[in-house]
Amino acid sequence: MSAFCLLTLAGALLWRSEAPDITLRWTHSVQKTTWEEVWRREGDHLLLAEARIEGSGAGMEPPPEARKQGRFWVWSPLLRVPEVQLAQSGAAGAWALCDVADCFRPQAAAQLIVCQP
């Protein structure tokens, strides 16, 4: 069975999750609002199943199909990619990867992929 794996840029394993979905969360560097993405495994690719932002502005306008749910604008981008490169800008604060059990907050750039057992 596959899992989510977060690797250092040198390929060392930082974090692994068998959860069906994970949430990538960070704070927008200009607006200082939360942005969240829900990722799923789809074969050997990652699927961006849902995106959520607290507000609009500074290059983060929700698309026309977004709907307001509580404090977030929510939509389903359905973007399929082989990997997600995650960096630390310093301006936005740390990002976190969360599954049903906990959140992991790495201190350096990393790569999110689907990995095999």
Q: Please tell me the predicted confidence (pLDDT) of residue 26.
A: 85
Backbone angles phi, psi at 58, to 5 degrees: 50, 50
pTM: 0.89
Percent of the chain predicted with pLDDT > 90:
62
The answer to whether 106 and 87 have CB atoms below 8 angstroms apart is no
Q: Please tell me the predicted confidence (pLDDT) of residue 91.
A: 58
Q: Please tell me the predicted confidence (pLDDT) of residue 90.
A: 63
The answer to whether 88 and 79 have CB atoms below 8 angstroms apart is no
Q: Please tell me the predicted confidence (pLDDT) of residue 17.
A: 95
Q: Going by DSSP bridges, is the β-strand pair 13-17/45-53 parallel, antiparallel, or unpaired?
A: unpaired
Indicate the pLDDT class of residue 89, thresholds 50, 70 and 90: low
Contacts of 70 (CB under 8 A, 6+ apart): none
